[in-house]
Amino acid sequence: MSAGVEWQVEDGPVDYPAAVAAMERRVAAIRAGTAPELVWLLEHPPLYTAGTSARAADLLAPMRFPVYKTGRGGQFTYHGPGQRIAYVMLDLKRRGPDIRCYVNALEEWIIRTLGRFNIRGERRRGRVGIWVDRGGGREDKIAAIGVRVSRWVTLHGLALNVDPELEHFRGIVPCGIADANLGVTSLLALGIPVTMPEVDAALRATFGEVFEADASPLACRATEPAASAV
pLDDT digits (tens, 9 = 90+) for 129-162: 999 999 999 999 999 999 999 999 999 999 999 9
Nearest alpha carbon to residue 91 among 144, 32, 12, 49: 32
Strand partners, 8: 40
Determine whether 175 is an active site residue: yes
Residue 173: what pLDDT? 86
- Of 175, 202, 210, 229, which one is the catalytic site residue? 175
What is the domain partition of the chain in residue ranges? Answer: 6-210
| E-strand stretches of 37-186 | 38-42, 47-50, 67-69, 76-79, 83-89, 122-124, 127-135, 138-150, 153-161, 182-184
Query: What does each C-alpha distance from 26 to 22, 31, 50, 102 come to in angstroms?
Result: 6, 9, 22, 19
Is residue 225 predicted with pLDDT exceeding 60?
no
Alpha carbon distance 84, 162 (integer Å): 7
Beta-carbon contacts of 27 under 8 Å, excluding residues fewer than 6 positions away, are: 89, 150, 153, 154, 155
Which class would CATH give 6-210? Answer: alpha beta
Is residue 220 predicted with pLDDT exceeding 70?
no
